[in-house]
Amino acid sequence: MILRYYADSDVREWHDHTLRLFRTLYDTHGIAVEIDRIDEQHGPITDFPGEIRYSTPEEVYERDLKRNRALNQTIDQTPSEAFKRYRKLDIAGNVAVVDDEGTVQWASTLPGYADGYRPGAASQTAMDFLEDIATDPSNRLCVECLSLLDGDETFCPNCGYEFP
């Protein structure tokens, strides 16, 4: 599994914090990280512990999100509803959990923090997700194997890791 950042967030602070949290997750949990840079806004990214690719929103939408059945089950809207605003692709700033086959299993559908969105948005925002999994114990993602969790497990059903 790998964590993927569709860069850049519009907001510089979110972008910098995402890069910091990705580094933390890589350093402390050995989680593989990578970036698809689809909207370059904030200058060069240096000292990043994973691959950085340059893509377009159309490329990542076709490859990762469009008609993705696994993703359809883990997010509230369909991918086309979630990542298109007024018929224009709106993906930059989101993060995704990608399995070993390259399938996106979950992705945030809102960049930034839940503040400013309707109640309940924290389960959909990129920053809340990253801060949650960077702060042990996470009830959304097993930090050992990156399996998605329901939130009430005491150990990971995939790898057996017991949550502290």
Instruction: Kindly state whether residue 144 participates in binding Zn ion, applying the rule CB under 5 A.
Output: yes
SS3 of 32, please? strand
Nearest alpha carbon to residue 15 among 86, 158, 112: 112
Instruction: Kindly state whether residue 145 participates in binding Zn ion, applying the rule CB under 5 A.
Output: yes
Instruction: Kindly state whether residue 147 participates in binding Zn ion, applying the rule CB under 5 A.
Output: yes
Nearest alpha carbon to residue 2 among 19, 37, 38, 26: 26
Region binding Zn ion by CB under 5 A among candidate stretches 23-31, 93-101, 112-120, 145-153: 145-153
Residues 74-103 that bind Zn ion (CB under 5 A): none
Instruction: Kindly state whether residue 159 participates in binding Zn ion, applying the rule CB under 5 A.
Output: yes
CA 150, 156, 162, 164 torsion: positive or negative? negative
SS3 of 124, please? coil
Pick 58 or 162: Cβ nearer Zn ion? 162
Give the shortest CB-138-to-Zn ion separation in angstroms: 11
Pick 19 or 156: Cβ nearer Zn ion? 156
Q: Which helix (H) or strand (E) holds 104?
A: strand 104-107
Instruction: Kindly state whether residue 158 participates in binding Zn ion, applying the rule CB under 5 A.
Output: yes
CA angle (22, 126, 136) in 5-degree steps: 60
**Interface contacts to Zn ion, rule CB under 5 A:** 142, 144-145, 147, 156, 158-159, 161
